[in-house]
Amino acid sequence: MTTTDSHAVTTVAFAEAVLARSHDVPVLVDFWAAWCGPCRALGPILDRLAAEYAGAFVLAKVDTEAEPKLATEYQIRSIPAVRLFRDGREIGAFVGALPEGQVRAFLTQHGIAAGPPLTLTGSTPEARLAEVRAAIAGGGGSPAVSLLLGELLVETGALDEAHRVLEALPAPQYGDARAVRARAHVALARRAAAATAGGDGETAGALQAVLAGDAARGIDTLLSLVRAQRDTADHSARDALLEVLAGLDDPDLVRDARRRMAAAMF
């Protein structure tokens, strides 16, 4: 490989080099073979774009002859086949030796812009937010930067602006797991404020615990409220718990909470 943004991946390394790495940066996987003429045409285009985009995505190459298990697992029936991964899951794909313009359009469709990623140096959320605002004002805006702006607005408590920014994200970023969690945080903070204003101290306390990082304690309290509301027309605790679960990045905790919620409701 000619750049650090492009590398060969084996079956053993795939989970770490592609799935885990995609939580930090999008990973574009090129399934190819040496005997495939279209693969030899597409490969240099992908290499060139990986260098040009300077870290906006990582290019991983899987030789389907050397790694048949990966080709079978991802149902590769025709090559070249390109798959795009973000947050540990496949979010886009194309087959065949597309011309460079169409590959660029594919990257743009999924929110990947050319140029180096924005590097923040501020030691506080407020300082990092100022850096992002300055980058946008200087013409460095992109869907990815808008998502980062939304996250920092949430972190600094500017919930109304965060809501506007997050709701305005284009489809690829709107469905990004980070955006989902950020929107859930805004919803929880608003629900906690409404509960406080309405005198519902238990719900407010549970939500504040979740927002403060103690999700397990908040979930326990909300489950108690779900049980208490089971035979009533009030389902506010259930709704609050569902919002909590939508924003958590802990599959085991979410799975256990959903199981306990079902038991509490029926």
**In whole angstroms, what is the distance from residue 186 CA to residue 162 CA?**
8
Q: Which of 232, 213, 221, 211 is nearest to 257 (CA)?
A: 221
Annotated catalytic residue within 36, 135, 192, 219:
36
Helix (H, G, I), strand (E, B) or coil at 6: strand
Dihedral angle at the C-alpha atoms of 105, 111, 116, 118, nearest 10 degrees? Answer: 160
**39 noted as active-site residue:** yes
Tokens of 2: 């000619």
DSSP string covering 130-193: HHHHHHHHTT---HHHHHHHHHHHHHTT-HHHHHHHHHTS-HHHHTSHHHHHHHHHHHHHHHHH
Among candidate residues 198, 205, 206, 266, the one with its CA nearest the CA of residue 231: 266
Beta strands in the chain (DSSP E): 6-8, 27-32, 58-63, 81-86, 89-95
From the list 18, 39, 240, 264, the catalytic residue is 39
Q: Which sign, positive or negative, has the C-alpha torsion 169, 175, 180, 182?
A: negative
127 a catalytic residue: no
Residues known to be catalytic: 36, 39
